[in-house]
Structure 1
């Protein structure tokens, strides 16, 4: 199956997952769509990254694959009702924290960490501003996990942007765009949960999330570039 066909299938699964989340309990079977196709979309993105050829390097592919698996685990924890799993949000948060650790490892496989300090400083300031707004709405028990997650998310995104600026390859720009989309998705989720309800939040959160994962998965495939041979032979 070609990349285009796999991507089209992912889009179909994502649309069904988002439709199920948007409709919720207003239509019979809608919740089933969400439960079935939310993890199936992420699993399909996993196979897209698994079959990408040629890969940038072995460590990059492995780290991205493990990160997507942690994302799949986070999907399952977050979608389960509170009545079934009271700590689902916290477990989902921890799962995505480990996912970002894996993505960060991948992004450091061919580019030095903190290569563009101004990028890290800018995102740190943005994160601090968001935390300032969200802080009153955060339950005390969630404050430390949320701060830890925000720090790691912003580090991953900053590294993705720094790497994209440094390498200037198609694959590095895909990863950079994926990092930005991940940050956007989590920002919407945080404001919707801890600040004020956002209309059509499932659509906004999941669409940007799946786009982020798809871009990150596509970044596994190396792109021809004059920069391709610089530091990408780490196996």
Structure 2
């Protein structure tokens, strides 16, 4: 299954520049969908619902993928889908936290996120509230992933935390491409980092089983 997922990711990234369009549309949501299926089919080894929420986050991401790839601009619908997905991922990481320490960490994430948001704000226009709420959701996710790693330690929690940071990188490139300056390879970078983050989230469930 992993070879199929990797192949789909590479084909989609190739189709961004070379087409055909039907292949672009077909391959974009399939990796997340297959990752979600793998996670849902993995029997839980712990009483927490960590795997369930990771799977739900991946499934909701598929909806976001579909909205964002439609020929008609459905940016807000796609952004809202990923906002829900990020809160779902964040809640999954919350299941791994025994004690929310250090308490200053969410404040640090919030300050960094606010600075980035203010830098983008002049170019966001009417989407400022949607983008602002999305910033809250992804910072909630990344903060919880970091605290979960600090709380429980281990390579699996570290894998999820790295995935969270890569997800932020993907969204930052996407935001710069949409609101500031577009480049020929920005979408390739967005999708490569996006798929990598999702794979790490899925692996944090599968390798713990």
**Fold conserved between structures, TM > 0.5:** yes
Q: Are residues 1:165 and 2:122 paired?
A: no
Give how far 1:124 is off: 1.6
Is the aligned partner of 1:181 residue 2:166? yes
Contact 2:174 2:186 in 1 (8 A): yes
* 8 Å Cα contact 1:38-1:75 kept in structure 2: yes
Measured against aligned partners, the alpha-carbon deviations of 1:146-171 in whole angstroms (never above 9, x if no partner) come to 10110110111011011112211222
- On the 8 A contact 2:98/2:151 being kept in 1, the answer is no
Distance in 1 (CA, whole Å) between partners of 2:128 and 2:43 is 41
Pairwise CA RMSD of aligned residues? 1.8
Q: Which runs of 5+ in 2 are unaligned?
A: none
Q: Is the 8 A contact 1:164 1:173 kept in 2?
A: yes
CA distance in structure 2 between the partners assigned to 1:185 and 1:57 by the alignment = 32
CA deviation vs aligned residue, 1:127-159 (integer Å, no higher than 9, x gap)? 11211111010122x111110110110111011
Question: Counting helix residues as a fraction of each chain, which structure ranks higher?
Answer: 2
Unaligned runs of 5+ in 1: 1-5, 225-235
**In the alignment, what sits opposite 1:231?**
none
1:60 paired with 2:50, answer yes
State the SS of the aligned residue for 1:110: coil
Counterparts of residues 114-153 of structure 1 (less than 5 Å): 114-140=100-126, 142-153=127-138
Give the distance between the partners of 1:70 and 1:146, measured in 2 at CA.
18
User: Which of 176, 198, 201 pairs up with 1:213?
Assistant: 198
Stretches of 4+ moved more than 3 A in 1? 51-58, 221-224
Q: Which residue of 2 aligns with 1:14?
A: 9
Q: Pick the structure with greater CA Rg.
A: 1
SS at match of 2:77: helix
CA shift, 1:55, in A, is 4.1
TM-score under structure 1 length normalisation: 0.83
Number of residue equivalences: 209
- Separation of aligned partners in 2, 1:36 and 1:107: 30
* Counterpart contact for 1:56–1:222, Cα < 8 Å: no
Residue 119 (structure 1) shift = 2.6
TM-score, length basis structure 2: 0.92
